[in-house]
Amino acid sequence: MRFLVLLALFAPLTSVLSEKATGVLIPSEYTYLLPTPFEGPQSVDGNFSTNYINTVTANASINSLFKIALNATYYALDKEFYEILGGEAPDIQLVQMRSTDFAYEAGAWDYDTNQVWFASENTSPPTYVSILNLNTNEIATPDIPGLRSINPNGGYYFQGKMYFAVLGNQSVPNGAPGIYAVDTATYEVTPILNSWFGEALESVDDLTWVKCGAEPSQPNLFFSTLDLGILGHNGFAGTSLSDAVFRFSPLTNSLQGVISRSDIVEPNGVRSDATGKYLFVTGDAAPFSLGGGAGISFGSSVIYRFTLDDECFPVNKRLIGTVRSYADGLHIDDYGRVWTGEFDGIVVRSPTGKVLGVFNAEALQDRKGSPLANFAIAGDKLVILAVDRLYVLQLGQNVTSARTGTQ
């Protein structure tokens, strides 16, 4: 195996620090009924301090509760959240903090070796991949030549391979976006797809393998593409195609769009549930505006659930949740709960969309850089990718498993 020399760029600023997580229970009534007058955080582009608990009301006791929540690791909005945590004070470890934004995307759990693969922040390309060994809490940053300079982003582990969605890079000859498979033992990279009828794909953001339909033994690969230029990111791949969710079928050797821009303006996270019955997709406003309701943006920041029919096509679109900012990272646990990375932090919803609780970005980040985007749920552990730092929080449930392959 080849590893990058850990130069100052990758040098950790901290060793493992363990402590107990703190939290508060906020009555769910406060999410829809507050004493007047009240003032919520301003939804201004570029202002990441838009957490719900920054709300100021006419009631001093509610304000005090919100102030306590601002400094807490989490805030619960339903007692079911404590079942996930296994109590009120789960263990949390700050595994590493660096001077670079090394922990941002993917959050893909290799359950065969108990490792989590993740990618660095994509506003300072090229991105690179690191690997957390959950058995030792050690982080390695391997040299993977096949992914070098092409900006790996979303990730998914399936049948012994780590698959990466690649954003692309206009400045290198092999910079087309696509899907690439990485051998987790040798780091050999195999391209899976990189075009559609001669057209370069838009930046590929996220992906999931699904065993569904009448042939569950023949899995299908779903992935999202989006225009990063409209979000202000330059240097990635250009294309004439529009945003879409595609499905790749190895059985029929075909790639086709299955969710169009008219259904979801800017698809982002994509995951299936453990049964293979549903496909979940997050969508953003474009151009991005918090909540999607201001300026010249169109669409909205949402979480949709589709039913996968007998032919493994997504049908029966249902809105599961609207989002205060936008939902980036998306994971579905074995209980059907929906976990998303948002400006507020890691938001956990019930299968029907009720917000159960939030792992609070105000306490987990310094809030000076990029917002929290992704994470991993790995068995009974939550791996928090907090941009320039990485935490592992011990959960009270095995929320994902190798048996189901959820991640």
Q: What is the pLDDT of residues 275-313, one digit of tens each?
A: 999 999 999 865 555 544 444 455 678 999 999 999 999
Q: Count other Cβ atoms within 10 Å, centred on residue 285.
A: 22
- 3-class secondary-structure state, position 355: strand
Q: In terms of DSSP H, where are the helices of 247-360?
A: none
Instruction: Kindly provide the residue ranges of all beta strands, DSSP E only, lying in 79-142, ordered along the sequence.
Output: 91-97, 105-110, 115-119, 129-133, 138-140
Q: Is the peptide bond before 287 cis (omega within 30 degrees of 0)?
A: yes
Q: For the chain, which ranges sit under pLDDT 50?
A: 1-9, 44-49, 291-296
User: Looking at residue 122, what is its pLDDT?
Assistant: 80
Q: What is the pLDDT of residue 385?
A: 98
Residue 92 exposed, middle or buried by CB count within 10 Å (0-12, 13-18, 19+): buried
Q: pTM (2 decimals)?
A: 0.92
Q: From CA 355, how far away is CA 338, in angstroms rounded? A: 9
pLDDT of residue 26: 98
Distances (CA, A) of 143 to 20, 21, 140, 147: 35, 34, 10, 9
Write down the pLDDT at residue 5.
Answer: 32
Q: What is the pLDDT of residue 238?
A: 61
The whole-number pLDDT of residue 40 equals 76
The pLDDT tens digits for 97-123 are: 999 999 999 999 999 999 999 999 987
Which letter does DSSP use for residue 400 in this model? S
pLDDT of residue 227: 83
What is the C-alpha separation between 407 and 401, in angstroms, rounded?
8
List the beta bridge partners of residue 203. 226
The Cα–Cα gap between 363 and 279 comes to 31
CA distances from 355 to 16, 29, 338 (A): 31, 12, 9
Dihedral angle of Cα 230, 236, 238, 243, to the nearest 10 degrees: -50
Contact 391, 132 (CB under 8 A): no
- What type of residue sits at position 324? R
Q: Give the pLDDT confidence score for residue 13 in this predicted structure.
A: 60
**28/16 Cα distance (integer angstroms):** 35
